């Protein structure tokens, strides 16, 4: 029997980011071309434009239309891999001044993030994380059961404790990347939408141009910030980027009164307040990894991550397997590319996962009982074998750089990731040490570290 909530909640929609007008003229030359108009690509373009670099952004669809507009919208530090902590702290600093910098609304508000602990093992995990993170001077701290109750009134259950970061925040995925792109244009960047890059050209062994569906742009520096498309793009040029995709499902509610202001995650649910007074809700600890041909090609590289996250991951084989099997892995730059066939990845949400999240949330916080579900959607998250991004030049392709594989963490750290990529390109002192995020860690014999 289908209950009333199930019937009214199955409203699947495609997120619509704020529109960004495309520049009409494709330049003959640029100092840097950035491929991909998500949060990473737009942040890289903004940082380069701030440095006075002549930069062009090429996006095959619309700005922020894939995972950058489909994520939770959290800007957190706690629980991050130690290789990302400094980047997340720098991102928090950038987020705080970003609206003024881009002269637009990204939706960022520093209202805190709480992870709730319902088991002793969770408390132990976050206590161990805090020990490692203290050297970075994070403001996160453990909460007692009583402190959780005071911070989050209205809960029906008693939590063992939690970890709380008052400086962490939230932003609006539908607004952030578009606002950043528009801000970059004001600083002189060229923004091209519906302009897929088919591939790269080289001269004398060095990158010399990108070939787009609208024409050729001469350049000696390229950044690939293609999200879930990055492995396919790299493969056409003989660059083996280990990357798979995980599907995450999210929903949006109508405005709710009497609910906590900080963003909150407990076992089986997560929520954050939106600018419109509603909430973005997801199921913490449950996502779907669809089995595709690359799953077999990369099986041994991903075994450690699979073992570590087995309880939180659902493996499934379905339509995506056939889609990727039929997608060409090689193509001529004179012909339309796969990026022109599919402009936006728009997977269907897993409604049973969202129904469970809604049920768990209502049980924990009765103020959400009966809330109207306005939208449901899903996105494909680009994941690396060690669940940490690549922000790096590619040694075998002078001039080619990669900023991808953010493994579900990209939105929050996006502004700092873009700044780091810009620093690497210009040779300026990097925002953080980029060595742990280098591309060659997957091929130089370095041990694979899963934190």
Rg of the chain over all Cα atoms, to the nearest angstrom: 21
How distant, in Å, are the alpha carbons of 45, 157, 167, 173, 431 from that of 153? 42, 10, 20, 27, 39
Burial class from Cβ neighbours inside 10 Å (0-12, 13-18, 19+) for residue 178 reads: buried
In a domain, residue 448? The reply is: no
Give the C-alpha separation, 322 to 294, whole Å.
Answer: 12
In a domain, 109, yes or no: yes
Q: Is 309 helix (H, G, I), strand (E, B) or coil?
A: coil
* C-alpha to C-alpha distance for 75 and 88, rounded to whole angstroms: 8
The per-residue DSSP string of 179-199 comes to HHHHHHHHTT-EEESS--EEE
Residue with tokens 């792109």: 181
pTM of the model as a whole: 0.95
Q: At what angle do helices 82-102 and 410-426 cross, to 10 degrees?
A: 90
Q: Is residue 366 part of a domain?
A: yes
SS3 (DSSP) at 323: helix
Total structural domains within the chain: 1
CATH of residue 230: 3.50.50.60
Element (H, E) at 263: strand 263-266
Q: What is the DSSP secondary-structure string of 105-165?
A: ----B---EEEEE-SHHHHHHHHHHHHHHGGGT---EEEEHHHHHHHSTT-SS--SEEEEE
* 58 domain-assigned: yes
In a domain, 450, yes or no: no
Alpha-carbon gap, residue 231 to 390, rounded angstroms? 12
CA distances (Å), 229 to each of 306, 356, 407, in order?
21, 30, 13
Is 95 part of a structural domain of the chain? yes
Burial of residue 194, with CB atoms counted within 10 A of its CB: 0-12 exposed, 13-18 middle, 19 or more buried? middle
In a domain, 245, yes or no: yes
One digit per residue, the tens of pLDDT, for the chain of length 451 reads 223 333 334 566 889 999 999 999 999 999 999 999 999 999 999 999 999 999 999 999 999 999 999 999 999 999 899 999 999 999 999 999 999 999 999 999 999 999 999 999 999 999 999 999 999 999 999 999 999 999 998 888 899 999 999 999 999 999 999 999 999 999 999 999 999 999 999 998 889 999 999 999 999 999 999 999 999 999 999 999 999 999 999 999 999 987 778 999 999 999 999 999 999 999 997 888 889 999 999 999 998 888 877 677 788 888 999 999 999 999 999 999 999 999 999 999 999 999 999 999 999 999 999 899 999 999 999 999 999 999 999 999 999 999 999 999 999 999 999 999 999 999 999 999 999 999 999 999 998 888 8
Of 162, 185, 371, give the one whose Cα is nearest residue 264. 162
**Cα distance between residue 273 and residue 429, in whole Å:** 36
Domain containing residue 267: 4-442
Domain assignment present for residue 451? The answer is no
């Amino acid at each position: 029997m289908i209950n009333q909530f199930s019937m009214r909640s199955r409203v699947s929609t495609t997120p619509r980011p704020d529109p960004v007008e495309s520049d009409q003229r494709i330049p003959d030359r640029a100092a840097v071309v950035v491929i991909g108009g998500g949060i990473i690509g737009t942040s890289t373009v903004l940082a380069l434009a701030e440095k006075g670099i002549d930069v062009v952004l090429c996006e095959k669809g619309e700005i922020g239309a894939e995972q950058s507009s489909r994520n939770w919208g959290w800007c957190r530090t706690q629980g991050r891999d130690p290789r990302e902590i400094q980047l997340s702290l720098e991102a928090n600093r950038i987020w705080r001044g970003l609206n003024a910098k881009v002269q637009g609304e990204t939706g960022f508000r520093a209202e805190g993030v709480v992870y709730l602990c319902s088991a002793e093992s969770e408390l132990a995990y976050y206590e161990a994380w805090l020990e490692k993170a203290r050297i970075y001077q994070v403001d996160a701290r453990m909460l007692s059961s009583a402190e959780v109750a005071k911070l989050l009134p209205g809960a029906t259950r008693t939590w063992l404790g939690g970890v709380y970061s008052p400086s962490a925040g939230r932003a609006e995925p539908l607004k952030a990347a578009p606002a950043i792109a528009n801000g970059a244009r004001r600083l002189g960047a060229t923004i091209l939408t519906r302009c897929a890059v088919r591939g790269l050209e080289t001269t004398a062994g060095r990158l010399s141009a990108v070939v787009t569906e609208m024409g050729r742009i001469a350049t000696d520096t390229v950044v690939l910030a293609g999200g879930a498309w990055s492995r396919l793009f790299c493969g056409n040029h003989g660059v083996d980027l280990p990357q798979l995709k995980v599907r995450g499902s999210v929903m949006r509610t109508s405005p709710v009164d009497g609910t906590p202001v900080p963003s909150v995650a407990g076992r089986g649910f997560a929520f954050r307040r939106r600018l419109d007074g509603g909430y973005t809700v997801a199921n913490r600890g449950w996502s779907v990894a669809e089995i595709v041909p690359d799953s077999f090609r990369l099986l041994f590289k991903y075994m450690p991550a699979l073992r570590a996250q087995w309880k939180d991951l659902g493996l499934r084989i379905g339509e995506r397997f056939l889609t990727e099997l039929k997608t060409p892995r090689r193509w001529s730059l004179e012909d339309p590319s796969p990026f022109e066939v599919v402009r936006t990845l728009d997977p269907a949400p897993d409604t049973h996962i969202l129904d469970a999240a809604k049920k768990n949330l209502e049980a924990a916080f009765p103020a959400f009982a009966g809330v109207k579900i306005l939208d449901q959607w899903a996105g494909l998250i680009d994941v690396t074998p060690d669940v940490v991004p690549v922000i790096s030049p590619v040694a075998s392709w002078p001039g080619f750089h990669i900023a991808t594989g953010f493994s579900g963490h990209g939105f929050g750290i996006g502004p700092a990731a873009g700044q780091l990529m810009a620093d690497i390109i210009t040779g300026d002192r990097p925002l953080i040490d980029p060595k742990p995020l280098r591309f060659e860690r997957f091929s130089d014999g370095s041990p694979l570290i899963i934190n």
